[in-house]
Structures are given as structure tokens and as C-alpha cells.
């Protein structure tokens, strides 16, 4: 005969010495039996209302079964499907669809039949799948779209916004730009290596006018866009000090940390970069060498939500805030917003409304002060009109190609 196993609390109660006269062991057993019956009844009632077991079962049995891609200009919107009728959307940004679609087709070999809620595992599987492709821009842009879709699926599966899966929101709103009170001055194309007054003064004037327009309580930024060579950038940066610019963006082409160090030693204006530094391994030299004041990680360029969260934690250890770069559609913006909502060190978020020709419906609003509400609903919080998306005539991608005034190839 198998022994009866009682609840630990009941066992402890039975082992205690009775404090009152006249309470027998038989009375204790009867009381324990009633308590156990009550606990069992409570468990049966609460199990019916408790969603956790049901979610756990779905999460353990859900599998990736297929995908669809929809080219939209330089973007490819990606839908990942599962055997549980739960699907997720992502965006492969700034990559020609003629590249992203066949690359996605090939990489699906690594996803087919996998559990989409194993997001970190799948990110590592994709990133480390081939030693010669690891870290490339084409692969990371594609992984970013996949990663967004996996988080979207997982949020929908649990019925919560993605930021709830990352510890919940740390803020109630997200400050964005451009707005009437936050403006970024563009560089306007390639510039000479060492500027004459005629080269520098128009840029300085543009910064001055922006400061006058937004006022002392507004924000001015300058986007060097890697097209001001270091000698001219140093001249320019020193000339705009009186206008209290929040940052100079992309002061140099990524790849040589010594150039960033030289610029940082020569100017006082804060420097920002990161939209083309796609992983924690590419970001860490800027932090270790103290040559960047603000990290502009791009969720759609740098491996998606999973990698962006890690970049934010890494930057936090150096007390460097994130000011996310974003030229994505509402899908990519939503992914970036969810990370931004969950991190402590944040400055301002780039934001251009892009609904891909009316095919995307967002779940947030930007108010007159330039503050966005957090995405709502389960997953990313973006609804997709798939039928309308399928009818769109995709714009053919064109390589930019920039030249210096003398005809030589230029950075931009």
C-alpha cells in the first residue's frame, strides 16, 4: 500500500505538539483531511481561471511552419507562420529585396520546425550558422526581421506587448524627433577634406537658424552622415559650440576607432554614432575608448530586438544613453519602441511615419509635444493589411552612389 503524501503545511501541523488540552491525533487527522480537501478544491477552481498552464502548453508545442515576404522599396516585410495559427511580422530594412528574399529562403532551413519562442537560441543559431557569414550587414538585417517576428509571435502567444516580456515599461512615453522643438540639421552631401570659410559658414548658419527656431528649450542635432572628413569636421564642430548642439551624428566612417578618438580629443560637442555598428562586439570599442557620448543603435540594422536590448545594457554600464536611429516602417519602429520602453537610459528616438502605403496600422500616437505613447496590444502592436500589401507594386531598389566635386567616390 502506497503511503499518503500530505501537503508540507499539513505535515508540519501534525508534527506540532497540541497546545490545547483534549485535542487528539484523530482530531488533527480529521482537520488535516478537511484542509487537504479544501486545497485540492481551490486548485481545481483556480486552474480553470489560470492562463499559465494553457500558455505553457501552447508555447511548448508551437512550431514554425512557413514564411511569406512582401517587397516594399528597399524593405521587405516578413511574415512567419506557425502551427498554432499565431503569426508574427518583421521587417528586413535597407536591403534590396532581390537579396533579402532569397537570403530569407535559404535561412529558413535553420528555422523550419523550430519553436519560435526560443528567441535567443534561434538568434544564436542564425548568427553563428556559418563562420564566414557571421556579422555581415546583409545577414544581420535579415536576422533583425526574423527576430522582430519571433518577438511578435511570443507577445501574441502570451497576450501582452513585447516590452512586458522584457521586464515591463520603464517610462510612460517616448520622446521623438523631428518635431517643431527637436530638429536635426543635415550635412547636405559630401564636403572637402579641409574647409574654407565658404564651405563651413553655410553649415554653421544652418545650425544657428535651427537653434533660433526651436528656442532655448528645444533640441538641435547635426548629422555629419560620415561625409565631412575629419579635418573639416573638427573645424565645424568648434564653430558651432555656442549653439549647444545635442550631438554631431556619424562624425566618421565606422571601422577605425583611432579616427573617432582623434575627433573626440579635438572637439567639445557630444558625438553620437551606432546606426552602422550592428552588434555588441562592434559597439564596445566606442565605449571602452570613451569616444562616443550617445549610441544610435538601429533595431532594424543590428539584429533586431534581441541585440538592441543587449546594446542598451552594455551602454548602460558606461552611462551612455541610447538615441535609436530608425528609418524603418511602423513594424521596425514598433520593435525599436518596445526596447526603448523597457530600458533605463534613453535620450530621444528618430521617427518618420511610414505605413508602407497604408498597409500598416500602428497602436501609438505622437502628441503635439513630440512624445509618443507606448505600443498597445499583444506582440509588436502593428496590424498588417496583408491583402493590400500583396497588391502593392514594389519600387525598384537603386544604389545611391555619391561623388565628391572632383568626381571621386565619396562617403555619405
Per-residue pLDDT of the chain (412 residues; tens, 9 = 90+): 444 444 444 344 444 444 444 445 455 444 545 444 444 444 444 545 655 556 656 678 999 999 999 999 889 999 999 999 999 999 999 998 999 999 999 999 999 999 999 999 999 999 999 998 888 899 999 999 999 999 999 999 999 999 999 999 999 999 999 999 999 999 998 887 878 899 999 999 999 999 999 999 999 999 999 999 999 999 999 999 999 999 999 999 999 999 999 999 999 999 999 999 999 999 999 999 999 999 999 999 999 999 999 999 999 999 999 999 999 999 999 999 999 999 999 999 999 999 999 999 999 999 999 999 999 999 999 999 999 999 887 777 788 888 888 889 988 8
Instruction: State how far the Cα of 379 lies from the Cα of 373, in Å rounded to an integer.
Output: 16
CA-to-CA distance for 334 and 337, rounded, in angstroms? 5
Q: What confidence score (pLDDT) does residue 401 get?
A: 84
Give residue 42's pLDDT: 42
Phi-psi region of 275 (alpha: psi -120 to 50; beta: other; left: phi over 0): alpha
Cα Rg of the chain (Å, integer): 27
Cα 261 to the center of its chain, rounded Å: 27
Residue holding cell 553620437? 272
Report how far residue 170's alpha carbon sits from residue 190's, in angstroms, rounded to the nearest whole number.
40
User: CA 155 to CA 162: how far, in whole Å?
Assistant: 5
Q: Phi/psi zone of residue 215: left (φ > 0), alpha (ψ -120 to 50 degrees), beta?
A: left
| 299 in Cβ contact with 326 (< 8 Å) | yes
Backbone angles phi, psi at 75, to 5 degrees: -120, 160
Nearest to 299 by CA among 178, 130, 149, 187: 149
Tell me the residue length of the chain: 412
What is the side-by-side order of every strand in the sheet holding 371-373? 349-350, 173-177, 371-373
CB neighbours of residue 2 within 10 Å: 4
**What is residue 398's predicted lDDT score, i.e. its pLDDT?**
82
Q: Residue 216: its pLDDT value, please?
A: 96
Phi, psi at residue 391, to the nearest 5°? -90, -10
Q: How far is CA 355 from CA 139, 334, 363, 387, in A?
A: 25, 12, 12, 15
Judged by DSSP in three states, 176 sits in strand
DSSP 8-state class, residue 66: E
Angle at alpha carbon of residue 412, lines to 239 and 97, rounded to 5°: 150
List alpha helices for 159-288, DSSP H.
Answer: 197-214, 230-239, 257-266, 280-288
The position carrying cell 530621444 is: 348
pLDDT in tens, 77-112: 999 999 999 999 999 999 989 999 999 999 999 999
What's the confidence (pLDDT) of residue 406?
A: 86
Domains in the chain, ordered, with CATH? 63-161 (3.30.390.10), 165-377 (3.20.20.120)
DSSP state of 341: H
Amino acid at each position: 500500500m502506497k503511503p499518503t503524501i500530505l501537503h508540507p503545511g499539513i505535515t508540519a501541523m501534525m508534527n506540532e505538539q497540541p497546545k490545547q488540552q483534549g485535542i487528539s491525533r484523530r482530531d488533527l487527522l480529521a482537520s488535516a483531511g478537511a484542509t487537504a480537501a479544501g486545497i485540492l478544491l481551490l486548485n481545481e477552481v483556480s486552474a480553470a481561471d489560470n492562463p499559465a498552464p494553457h500558455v505553457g502548453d501552447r508555447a511548448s508545442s508551437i512550431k514554425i511552419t512557413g514564411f511569406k515576404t512582401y517587397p516594399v522599396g528597399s524593405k521587405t516585410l516578413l511574415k512567419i507562420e506557425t502551427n498554432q495559427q499565431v503569426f508574427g511580422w518583421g521587417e528586413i530594412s535597407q536591403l534590396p529585396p532581390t537579396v533579402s528574399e532569397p537570403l530569407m529562403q535559404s535561412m529558413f532551413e535553420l528555422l523550419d520546425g523550430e519553436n519560435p519562442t526560443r528567441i535567443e537560441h534561434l538568434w544564436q543559431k542564425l548568427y553563428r550558422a556559418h563562420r564566414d557569414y557571421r556579422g555581415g550587414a546583409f545577414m544581420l538585417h535579415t536576422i533583425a526581421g526574423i527576430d522582430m517576428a519571433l518577438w511578435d509571435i511570443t507577445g501574441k502567444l502570451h497576450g501582452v506587448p513585447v516590452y512586458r516580456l522584457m521586464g515591463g515599461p520603464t517610462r510612460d512615453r517616448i520622446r521623438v524627433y523631428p518635431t517643431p522643438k527637436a530638429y536635426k540639421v543635415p550635412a547636405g552631401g559630401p564636403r572637402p577634406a579641409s574647409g574654407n570659410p565658404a564651405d563651413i559658414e553655410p553649415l554653421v548658419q544652418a545650425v544657428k537658424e535651427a537653434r533660433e527656431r526651436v528656442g532655448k528649450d528645444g533640441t538641435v542635432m547635426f548629422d555629419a552622415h560620415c561625409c565631412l572628413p575629419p579635418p573639416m569636421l573638427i573645424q565645424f564642430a568648434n564653430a558651432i559650440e555656442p549653439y549647444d548642439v545635442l550631438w554631431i551624428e556619424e562624425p566618421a566612417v565606422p571601422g577605425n576607432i583611432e579616427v573617432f578618438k582623434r575627433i573626440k580629443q579635438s572637439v567639445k560637442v557630444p558625438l553620437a554614432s551606432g546606426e552602422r555598428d550592428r552588434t555588441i562586439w562592434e559597439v564596445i570599442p566606442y565605449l571602452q575608448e570613451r569616444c562616443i557620448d550617445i549610441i544610435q543603435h538601429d533595431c532594424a540594422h543590428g539584429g533586431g530586438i534581441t541585440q538592441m536590448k543587449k546594446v542598451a545594457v552594455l551602454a548602460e554600464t558606461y552611462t551612455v544613453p541610447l538615441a535609436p536611429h530608425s528609418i524603418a516602417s511602423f513594424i521596425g519602429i514598433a520593435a525599436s519602441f518596445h526596447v526603448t520602453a523597457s530600458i533605463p537610459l534613453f535620450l530621444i528616438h528618430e521617427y518618420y511615419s511610414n505605413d508602407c502605403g497604408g498597409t500598416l496600422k500602428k497602436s501609438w500616437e505622437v502628441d503635439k509635444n513630440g512624445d509618443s505613447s507606448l505600443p498597445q496590444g499583444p506582440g509588436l502592436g502593428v496590424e498588417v493589411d496583408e491583402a493590400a500589401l500583396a497588391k502593392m507594386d514594389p519600387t525598384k531598389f537603386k544604389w545611391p552612389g555619391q561623388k565628391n566635386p572632383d568626381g571621386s567616390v565619396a562617403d555619405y
